[in-house]
Amino acid sequence: MTSAKHILPVLCVSLLLSACSTTSSNKQFVVVPPSESQIENSVKEQVSLTLNAFTPVAGQAIPNHSVLEAYESRGYEPIWIKDKKINMSLYKLVDILEQSHAHGLNPIHYHTSIIKEYLAIKKPTPQQLAEMDVISTIALTSYAHDISNGRYEPQLIDPNWQLDAPSNNWKDLLFLDSATDMVNSLQLLSPRSPQYQVLQKWLVYYQDLAKKEKDIFVSAGVPLSLGDSGPRVAQLRARLVQLGDIRFSTRKVNEEEFDSRLKEALMRFQYRHHIMADGAAGSKTIEMLNVPLETRAKQISYNLERWRWLPSELEANRIWVDLTDYTVNLHLNGELTSMKAVIGKPDRKTPVFKGLMTYMVTNPTWRVPHRIARENLLPKLQADPNYLIKHGYKVYSSWGIGAKELDSTQINWKAIDEDKLAYRFEQEPDEGNALGQYKFMFPNKNEIYLHDTPAKHLFREENRAFSSGCVRLENPVEFAREITKGSKQYNDMNNSLKNDSNTVITLPTYIPVYLVYFTVVPNANGMLEFRSDVYDRDTLMEEAMGYSPFSAGDSI
């Protein structure tokens, strides 16, 4: 159902349109074609009026100021009308806007029905032409912005989402010589990432499939496995065909028999849904199989929007912390180094942001963040006053530079309220240090970094959200070697490790770090992985977007 917040701008213009329509009961009334100056004067009058009807709503980032700049730069000359005729590129623009659902955007945001109403007027007045020109430019501008930078402001959706890399390149098309050039430039604005392009094709597939076919669901029951037979096996096979895990084949099969080919297809499905790939359809697998096509289309659209919040082109050398995959991928000098990672717990989410890794520390001292000291360390001290001594911690009177070291056994920890804890705690470098032997730094306001850990057993888990926010590396030795390889810093690092010294090492090359969160990702075979939404961020996307675009038919 369309919400009122989305209808309001359209109703404003609809009323404006109906009020300005040229009608007369006098059969002798003749409409004189408007002059160029009449249209230009009307455009100038209508720009502010019409822009006010399209004010930003909620988290939508509607770039109205750019529309005003575009008209001012051309002396309010109309963009879509030339020699008293409507430029044919406007019709092409309407077609593009009506297909915006293919990018996970909603055509209703681009006023296509309103523009088509104006186009249908046989003898428009100067005011109607001006209104059509301005509304069309608003639609063009909004779409250009949205396809390049994203429709919504990410931090209004999720304060922990701090990765927003807006580009102003999309504005350039507003200053091109012709409307034709503007429209033709739209296709260059979407993200260049191959992953975005694959996601977009799958979105269209799911949208089209959901319109043409009903979901094929697998009935609840006992787990299905190799050798089973019956109508539920036929449902399983049909659903895997529908989802693309079984390719169409002319080979005749017994639809109700669970054979080896069906097992292989089911294992492919399980792999890409991060389920244990045992080739048997248990309750979790059936639950994933029965997620409706329309729901999957919405999930894809959320992730297309997330791609638009990233830079349109990524650096060749970068560190890609893939939070939903619990992995860190180091792209450096044409080589890829990947390893497992542990990320923040759901109540201590690792934020999404971009940083620049500039240095590393060997044998680091861990200065315990204040929150962790209050929530984790204080309760342990209240239970055991000798906890700090046993685990290699020192305590200081405050966070100031000249703070005095204190004897932890002389402090009455039970008398200290969590909210009034003001001490600074530091864990000395040793094999039990929470940071291990390495800390990799990309200075940021969140105090998040990559580091080693003594808790190696956690890397054996499938879902690895166990930290207090920082990212722990499965193989920090390899990571350190790769980012210093062939440099003087590589020798400095090795010497510091031999001497057990706490050493700060500036990296020979600074490396961009992306901490990203995607719940739908194309795998190496071009199929989609649907991942667990460990931080419930898809729920926030659904709430912010109101409803997900599904087809051009949704447009008013």
CATH 1.10.101.10 fits 216-291, yes or no: yes
Q: Residue 488 — pLDDT band, cuts 50, 70, 90?
A: very high
What SS3 state is found at 513?
A: strand
Query: How high does pLDDT run on average in the chain?
Result: 88
Dihedral sign for Cα 156, 162, 163, 169, please. Answer: positive
Q: pLDDT by residue (tens digit) across 388-403? A: 998 889 999 998 888 9
The pairing of strands 81-82 and 465-467 is unpaired
Q: pLDDT by residue (tens digit) across 210-263? A: 999 999 999 999 999 999 999 999 999 999 999 999 986 657 889 999 999 999
Task: Specify whether the backbone of 227 is left (phi greater than 0), alpha (psi in -120 to 50) or beta.
Answer: left
Q: Residue 8 — pLDDT band, cuts 50, 70, 90?
A: very low
- CB pairs under 8 A, 24+ apart, for 271-277? 271/523, 272/523, 272/527, 272/528, 272/529, 272/530, 273/529, 273/530, 273/531, 274/462, 274/529, 274/530, 274/531, 274/532, 276/462
The listed range with the strongest mean pLDDT (33-42, 421-430, 506-515) is 506-515
Residues facing residue 521 across a β-bridge: 529
Q: What separation in angstroms does the CA of 340 have from each of 360, 444, 458, 461, 462?
A: 19, 23, 10, 10, 10
Burial of 346 (0-12, 13-18, 19+ CB in 10 A): exposed
pLDDT of residue 227: 95
Kindly give, in sequence order, each residue whose CB lies less than 8 Å from that of residue 91, ignoring residues fewer than 6 positions away.
119
C-beta atoms surrounding 389 within 10 Å? 13
**Residue 376 has which token pair?**
């984790």
- Provide the whole-model pTM: 0.86
What dihedral do alpha carbons 482, 462, 292, 538 form, nearest 10°?
Answer: -60
**CA 169 remoteness from chain centre:** 20
Tell me the mean pLDDT in the region 57-72. 73
Q: pLDDT by residue (tens digit) across 220-235? A: 999 999 999 999 999 9
On the CB side of 29, CA atoms within 13 Å amount to 8
- For residues 56 and 145, the model is more confident at 145
pLDDT at 458 over 70: yes
pLDDT at 439 over 90: yes
Q: Residue 467 — pLDDT band, cuts 50, 70, 90?
A: very high
pLDDT at 164 over 70: yes
pLDDT of residue 24: 38
Residue among 361, 338, 335, 341 nearest 485 (CA): 335
pLDDT of residue 26: 40
Tell me the mean pLDDT in the region 462-489. 96
What SS3 state is found at 149?
A: helix
Q: What is the DSSP string of 204-257?
A: HHHHHHHHHS---PPPP-S-B-TT-BSHHHHHHHHHHHHTTSS----S---TTB
- The catalytic residues are 451, 470
Q: pLDDT by residue (tens digit) across 110-148? A: 999 999 999 999 988 888 888 899 999 999 999 999 999
pLDDT at 61 over 70: no
Q: pLDDT by residue (tens digit) across 76-86? A: 899 999 877 89
Please give the share of the chain, as a percent, with pLDDT higher than 90: 69
What SS3 state is found at 433?
A: coil
pLDDT at 36 over 80: no
Residue among 283, 305, 317 nearest 161 (CA): 305
Domain spans in the chain, listed from the N-terminal domain onward: 4-191, 216-291, 368-428
Residue among 304, 278, 319 nearest 549 (CA): 304
C-beta atoms surrounding 129 within 10 Å? 23
